[in-house]
Amino acid sequence: MSTAEMQSKTTVTDVPELVVGFDLDMTLIDSRPGIQAVWDLLVAETGVPIDTDLVVSRLGPPLRWEMAHWFPEEQIDAMVERYREHYPQHAIADSLPLPGVTESLAAVRALRGRSVVVSAKYTPSVKLHLDHLGLDVDEPIGDLHGAEKGIALREHQAMIYVGDHTADIDGARAAGAVAVSVATGPFTADELRAYGADVVLNDLTEFPAWLDAYVLEQRLEALMARLASYPSLVVAFSGGADSAFLLAAAARAIGPANVVAATAVSPSLPVAELEPAARFADGLGVRHVTPHTHEMDREGYQANAGDRCYFCKAELVETLQPIADEFGIAAIATGTNADDAIAGFRPGIRAAFERGAITPLRDARLTKAQIREASRSWGLETSDKPAAACLSSRIAYGIRITPNLLARVDRAEQAVRAHLAPYGVQNVRVRDLGESASIEIDAELLGTVDSGALVELVRAEGFTAAAVDPRGFRSGSMNERLKEPEKYR
């Protein structure tokens, strides 16, 4: 079963998928110049004295409603049609994104969410605006106004709707969504607040920060509720940012006496990781155990094909199960987060799932960035700890893994890290390509440090040749060298 198939069989129920709805006119874009240009054309064609300044001051309701102010009922359909004929040529290019639009849509995407636009505007016109400005929206929907917008918002399960009009608040209410108003349209912040908006912002530049804080709060609440549902837990604790945060959260949710931190000791664990892990667990008052795992005894692990991580995680969970049994603990939790679950190359996730391990961070949809942010707010020393995958991830696929190879990589990385400590280095990887090695460091240090010195340090540990990768550190870069990666997803 692939990771994708695994996800299809296990529905995340702790937190719904983040879906944010946006209005278009005067929420995402300032369409007044283009709309006014079209109305001016209608004035020129019909001779009807239309106050086009007034028209663009009250955008929001359906076009037919505005037409009714200027034309008799029997002419409205024809004038709407004529307006729509002019619109693509005269309204699209003159409309501009409002401040904060790109950042707001990016904020939704960063939280693994989807964006939908629900507007009273003619649907083809909505699409033309979004395409012209290159806005990152998953679904454009038009021809809905006020409470009718709730139909589309419910269909797409939007939990937030952002708009500039009181009618947008009606749409959010009809969908049971949080009504977020921006004071960039015809209503002031006080008027929107008085009408019943849940949140009022001056403009979309304030939206990313609000969204980040709101979603993090929701996801943390879900995480703590999930953890509190277990009387006790064994946490697979590598010492990294994710498992450290999970351990701290579990200690808060059910008390440190009911949590066991298990750090697996094997040749694949960098020696520098064990002592900080023990210190961290002790600081939480959590029992810390250090069972030895024997993934090196598994042929699939030693063979080091694309599914190596499957055998490693299988060994880990199977080693932790007797510990859980010994302490009478029903669940083993791993630090898999929401980003890991969609990364596309995580055979270890499948192995843990098949053996019954739970993934509270993933189930709460917590991303790596959110885990770091929450860790900072909790004062955890691991909040900014660089990613530290197991040593085997440094060995090129197809090269048989041995303890000697792992020890050589560990020594080489420690030597490079020590040399670069004065530069504030964060990420160091020495990739074993056989007799040669590829050295990856933070990209911003390239050109600043003496690459020759790094090469000599790595060669001194037993490599016949080495080179600094000009692209810098990239998590999982060994996967770039894997033939047929789809085979292992």
Task: Note the pLDDT tens digit of each residue in 228-274.
Answer: 999 999 999 999 999 999 999 999 999 999 999 999 998 877 777 88
DSSP strand pairing (436-441 vs 428-432)? antiparallel
Q: Tens digit of pLDDT for each residue in 84-139?
A: 999 999 999 999 999 999 999 999 999 999 999 999 999 999 999 999 999 999 99
Rounded to whole angstroms, the Cα distance separating 469 from 484 reads 23
* 167 contacts: CB under 8 Å, gap ≥ 6: 60, 61, 120, 145, 146, 149
Q: How confident is the model at residue 9 (pLDDT cuts 50, 70, 90)?
A: very low
pLDDT for 487 equals 53
Cα 38 vs. chain centroid, distance in angstroms? 40
pLDDT tens-digit map of 318-327: 999 999 999 9
φ and ψ at residue 164, rounded to 5 degrees:
-110, -5
pLDDT above 50 for 2: no
pLDDT at 272: 76
HSE at residue 374, side-chain half, CA atoms within 13 A, is 28
Beta partners for residue 114, in sequence order: 19
pLDDT tens digits along 391-424? 888 999 999 999 999 999 999 999 999 999 999 9
Band of pLDDT at residue 6, cut at 50, 70 and 90: very low
Q: Bigger pLDDT: 15 or 358? A: 358
Whole-prediction pTM: 0.84
Distances in Å between the Cα of 307 and the Cα atoms of 21, 337, 486, 488 are: 39, 20, 11, 6
Characterize the bridge pairing of strands 287-289 and 259-262.
parallel
201 near 178, Cβ under 8 Å? no
pLDDT for the residue 241 = 94
CA-CA-CA-CA torsion for 301, 366, 373, 272, nearest 10 degrees?
-10
First-last CA distance in the chain: 9
Percent of the chain past pLDDT 90, that is, above it, reads 82
Provide the sign of the torsion angle of the four alpha carbons 114, 117, 118, 123, taken in this order.
negative
Residue 28 · residue 22 · CB < 8 Å: yes
Distance from C-alpha of 274 to C-alpha of 440, rounded to nearest angstrom: 23
Mean pLDDT throughout 141-158? Answer: 97
| Residue at token pair 């990771």 | 3
Question: Cα(115)–Cα(22) distance, rounded to whole angstroms?
Answer: 7
